[in-house]
Amino acid sequence: MIEGIIFDLDGVIVDTAKYHFQAWKRMAAELGVNFTEVENEQLKGVSRRGSIDKILNWGGISLSEEEIEKWMRIKNEWYLEYVAGMQPSEILPGADRIIAEAKSLGLKVSLGSASKNSRFILEKVNLIDQFDAIVDGTVVSASKPDPEVFLTGAKQLGLEPSKCLVFEDAVAGVQAANNGNMKVIGVGDSTILAEATLTFPNLENVRLKEDIIDKI
């Protein structure tokens, strides 16, 4: 029986990937590297450090540890400028309704995100008060597909992992949930997220109880 829900942030609750893309593209341009939307897709769910390592690798660039730290800081400053104007209207269709449905069913709700900016973003879209726990890149060190972020979420909710259900849009996130012995709802392309328990292209018309909990 499911007693808790753990939501990924980017790609499930909000589309921050487009803001990450703008900021990484700006950094890549300064470094004389072309960075494409196709490449950006591969950064979903990947940590900030993991992302810069990939971009530099694709661009054939090698930087000192100090330079890498500097560019991560600058990229994040740009990213924070872009997300500063986010509004509740940017919540992806159905995400807020599913969170509300979970709470009305008496389920606990946690965030499970790689982002170090998750609290800022949840405040911007007015959802921060809906979460019983927020587990993000500021509290965990291992990246998805390591299950640490979701196992920490289950622990903070006081639940066994097997009683938690994860919502994820990234392959590595789906694998992280499976590695943590949790059922997982893939949000996106069912062929890409084939390892998920169930997938939906988006959450717009999905009902938590009838379409998910009663079926898994």
Binding residues: 8-10, 24, 43-48, 51, 75, 113-117, 144, 168-169
Q: Which one of the spans 6-14, 54-62, 89-97, 153-161 is the region binding ligand B16 (CB under 6 A)?
A: 6-14
What are the contacts of 125-131 at 24+ separation with CB within 8 A?
Answer: 125/13, 125/14, 125/86, 125/87, 125/88, 125/90, 125/91, 126/88, 127/13, 127/88, 127/91, 127/96, 127/99, 130/96, 130/99, 130/100, 130/103
The answer to the question of residue 51 lying near ligand B16 (CB under 6 A) is: yes
Q: How far is the CB of 4 from ligand B16 (least distance, A)?
A: 18
Measuring CA to CA, which residue among 131, 172, 128, 91 is closest to residue 6? 131
Q: Can you tell me the distance from the alpha carbon of 52 to that of 171, in angstroms, rounded to the nearest whole number? A: 19
Active site residue 10: yes
The answer to the question of residue 114 lying near ligand B16 (CB under 6 A) is: yes
Measured in Å, how far apart are the chain's first and last C-alpha atoms?
Answer: 9
Residue 178 binding: pick among Mg ion, ligand B16, none (C-beta 5-8 Å cut-off by kind)? none
The answer to the question of residue 8 lying near ligand B16 (CB under 6 A) is: yes
Active site residue 8: yes
Residue among 2, 4, 20, 184 that touches ligand B16 (CB under 6 A) = 20
Q: How far is the CB of 47 from Mg ion (least distance, A)?
A: 12
Q: Give the interface with ligand B16 as residue ranges (CB under 6 A).
A: 8-11, 17, 20, 43-48, 51, 76, 113-117, 137, 170
Catalytic residues: 8, 10
